[in-house]
Amino acid sequence: MTLSLKTRAERFVATLRHCQNLGLTVESAEGNTLLMRLPYSEKIVGNPVDGTVHGGSLTTLMDTACGTAVFSVLPGFELCPTLDLRMDYMKAAEPNRDLFAEATVIRIASSVVFTRCEVYQGEERDLVAKCSATFMRIGEEMTPPDFRARIEQGDDVAGDAV
Amino acid sequence: MSFEKNLQQAQSSGEFQPLVEAIPYAQLIGLKFQRFGQDVLFQLPKNDDNIGNPILPAIHGGVIGGFMELSASLHLMMSMDTGTLPKMIDFSLDYLRAGRHQDTFAECQVWRQGSRVANVAITAWQTERSSPIATARAHFLLAR
């Protein structure tokens, strides 16, 4: 049974409790690029005066988008811890609008995976933030069997395999 | 009362708890702080809702980053008297160890505060201050 990249990505994100709290969803995953959505909500606001979301929620969005792209693109079921993140905040996100992160895996080396990500709002792709993130490869054999089973089978086994 | 008014009041009274309570993201992750004169210790108490990797289990790296970003901006607000919210320009974060499912602490160092930009270093640790789980550096715009 081969899982689509999107199914792998969705099941991976489903295991991340904090991401469930934020309501992160995988919009698409094709080739080496993944699109993730962070819905606007009052609980992630950092500036209560104007309702702007806190940069920390964008950090979680970008770390998760890049990390999920890495997990879904690697051939095995490798869990890769983040080595570093470098983020630039171009402008404050507009309140009451969802945020989208487009993460791309740039290079998969033997020990390290390089990624980049852009966060934008709306169809006009208004750029809010961008990031460069690097992940360590610790090997597929480090993935616990029960975690692997959760990804292979999903919480709901019916249906979504390709 | 507006947030800026809250901030100005906090800066004149030295009482920052109401300000932190007014920031929804701080409440979401559960940030706490303690001031010791000019020093500030930030705390992220153990919280099931902050878990990313469920296997270890470990705190989501993004939450550790968010905690450190928020600590840096609060530290600046506590050490300045400008009455404006510092805006983050960039943030560079190195993960050194997994953030275990336990309390996390952070402290900040303002290396340079110019008229427009501040450079802040942040260190986060759990059991030992000398074994940080992450270090970071942030630039803030101190806009009017």
DSSP assignment of A5-21: HHHHHHHHHHT-HHHHH
B44 CB neighbours in chain A (<8 A) are none
- Whether chain B has a CB inside 8 Å of the CB on A128: the answer is no
pLDDT by residue, tens only, chain B of 144 residues: 577 888 888 988 889 999 999 999 999 999 999 999 889 999 999 999 999 877 778 999 999 999 999 999 999 999 987 777 899 999 999 999 999 999 999 999 999 999 899 999 999 999 999 999 999 999 999 976
Reply yes or no on whether the pLDDT at A161 is more than 50: no
Helices (H) and strands (E) counted in chain B, each on its own, are 4, 6
pLDDT of A115 over the 80 cut: yes
pLDDT of residue B3: 78
Range of the domain at B120: 3-141
Amino acid (1-letter code) at residue A130: K
Q: How far apart are CA A14 and CA A2, in angstroms?
A: 19
Structure confidence at residue A158 (pLDDT): 42
Interface of B with A (CB under 8 A): 2-4, 22-25, 27-29, 48-55, 60-63, 65-67, 69-70, 85, 87-95, 98
Residue A125 neighbours by CB under 8 Å, 6+ apart? none
Give the pLDDT score at A94: 95
Report the phi/psi class of residue A156: left, alpha or beta, with left for phi > 0 and alpha for psi in -120 to 50.
beta
Contact B137, B69 (CB under 8 A): no
CATH number of the domain encompassing residue B109: 3.10.129.10
Q: Domain tally for chain B?
A: 1
Helices (H) and strands (E) in chain A, counts: 4, 8
The whole-number pLDDT of residue B53 equals 79
**Cα separations (Å) of A77 from A15, A116, A134, A139, B66?**
13, 21, 18, 9, 27
Question: What is the pLDDT, as a whole number, of residue B55?
Answer: 77
Question: Distance between CA atoms of B37 and A33, rounded to whole angstroms?
Answer: 48
C-alpha triplet B121, B122, B123: angle, nearest 5°: 130
Check if A86 contacts B (Cβ < 8 Å). yes
pTM over 0.80: yes
Give the class (CATH, top level) of A5-151.
Answer: alpha beta
- In this predicted structure, what is the pLDDT of residue B1? 58
**Which is more confidently placed, A88 or B6?**
A88
A51: burial class by Cβ within 10 Å (0-12, 13-18, 19+)?
middle
- The torsion of the CA quartet A59, A60, A63, A69, rounded to 10 degrees, works out to -130
The one-letter amino acid at B90: D
- The answer to whether B17 touches B34, Cβ cutoff 8 Å, is no
| Mean pLDDT value across residues A136-159 | 81
Nearest CA in chain B to A54: B25
Q: Alpha-carbon torsion B123, A131, A25, A128, what sign?
A: positive
Between the alpha carbon of residue B93 and those of residues A38, A69, B122, the distances in Å are: 21, 19, 9
pLDDT of residue A43: 94
Q: Where does the pLDDT of residue A155 fall: very low under 50, low under 70, confident under 90, or very high at 90 and above? A: low
Q: Compute the mean pLDDT over every residue in chain B, rounded to the nearest whole number.
A: 92
Tokens 């054999």 identify what position? A141
Return the pLDDT at A160: 45
Q: Which of A77, A1, A80, A72 is nearest to A35 (CA)?
A: A72
**Integer Cα distance of A127 and A23 in angstroms:** 21
User: Quick one: pLDDT at residue B93?
Assistant: 98
Q: Which residues contact B139 (CB under 8 A, 6 or more apart)?
A: B88, B89, B90, B91, B117, B118, B119, B120
Instruction: Kindly give the interhelix angle for B61-79 and A55-73, rounded to the nearest 10 degrees.
Output: 160
**Residue spans per domain, chain A:** 5-151
Q: Note whether B22 contacts A48, CB cutoff 8 Å.
A: yes
Cβ contacts from A onto B, under 8 A: 134
Taking an 8 Å cut-off on Cβ atoms, the answer to whether A89 and B60 are in contact is no
